[in-house]
Amino acid sequence: MDKSSKIYVAGHRGLVGSAIYRKLQAEGYTNLVVRSRSELDLTNQQQVYDFFARERPEYVFLAAAKVGGILANNTYPADFIRDNLLIQTNVIDAAYRYGVKKLLFLGSSCIYPKFAPQPMKEEYLLSGKLEPTNEPYAIAKISGIIMCQSYRRQYGFNAISLMPTNLYGPGDNFDLETSHVLAALIRKFAEAKESGAQEVVVWGTGTPRREFLHVDDLADAALFLMLNYDDGEIVNVGVGEDISISELAELVADVVGYRGKIVYDTSKPDGTPRKLLDVSKLTALGWRPRISLRYGIRQTYEWYLSNRATARR
């Protein structure tokens, strides 16, 4: 892939896709192809085929997906499995049919079993039962992985699959009903500070542990692997360290400057007890993250303050 290669970034307005698009632009890639959802419905097979037949991209970053936190996954399970299966099936198949040289598929750490040994190695995939709250989404992502591997085995199609840990950063979704935990905490503490609220309620017990990767680090890893990795086996992308939700809440409160009380609503689900990725495979390939959690939270908080009128909230 060189600077003039025709590159399609699917989902360029989402958290991940926008970061990949920014990274490619910053690195001097000049032939980038993007389409908004209103211009190209990736759940519509004919539209996807027509797009690939017309544009003939050489490389594809498949970052388009329907994503959300525990509440969204619990509330709209049919939407999550249907939309994600349609999007990835249409794009992967069209990429193969219309001569794409290489495709990068973005999965999720939720593909691993709920009680997988920690940290989670790539080989733990399909070794146990999934977390029920996001099973439809996880099943869709697992299907995408197997589809990439199957197209590689049967057709020789060069498709690689990355499994990112929990992501955050500029462009995140701050809607309290559909967001992930870090964006939700930033919004909750920001609003509590501004309103003078005495307490902030956090879902669950605060004991689950999560790993957080800044989306700009993910974009850097995605480009690194697109240029340097050509194997069908999945690759974990994370920082190799985790933090409890209670520690995270305290960190966000400190960054935001909120001094009130933090209360935990134990009637709400915790989700998977721990999700920490083993990133030794990626480290051995020569990549490491650069953005610290505190710095990343501060940057995301400042982005939220500057963009909340137009941010997803």
Known binding site for NADP(+): residues? 11-17, 106-109, 141, 164-167, 180
**How crowded is residue 115: how many other Cβ atoms within 10 Å of its Cβ?**
13
Binding site per annotation, positions: 11-17, 106-109, 141, 164-167, 180, 188, 203, 210, 270
Q: What is residue 155's DSSP assignment?
A: H
Is residue 148 within 8 A of residue 102, CB to CB? The reply is: no
Q: Helix (H, G, I), strand (E, B), or coil: what is residue 258? A: coil
Please, which residues have CB within 8 angstroms of residue 246's CB and are 6 or more apart in sequence? 202, 206, 207, 262, 264
What secondary structure does DSSP assign to 9-65, as a single string?
Answer: EETTTSHHHHHHHHHHHHTT---EE---TTT--TT-HHHHHHHHHHH--SEEEE---
- Active-site annotation holds for 301: no
Q: Give the residue carrying structure tokens 């400190």.
A: 254
Active-site hit among 29, 96, 112, 137: 137
* Tokens coding 127: 């070794």
Chain-centroid distance of CA 90 in Å reads: 19
* Tokens coding 211: 């790993």
* Residues belonging to the active site: 137
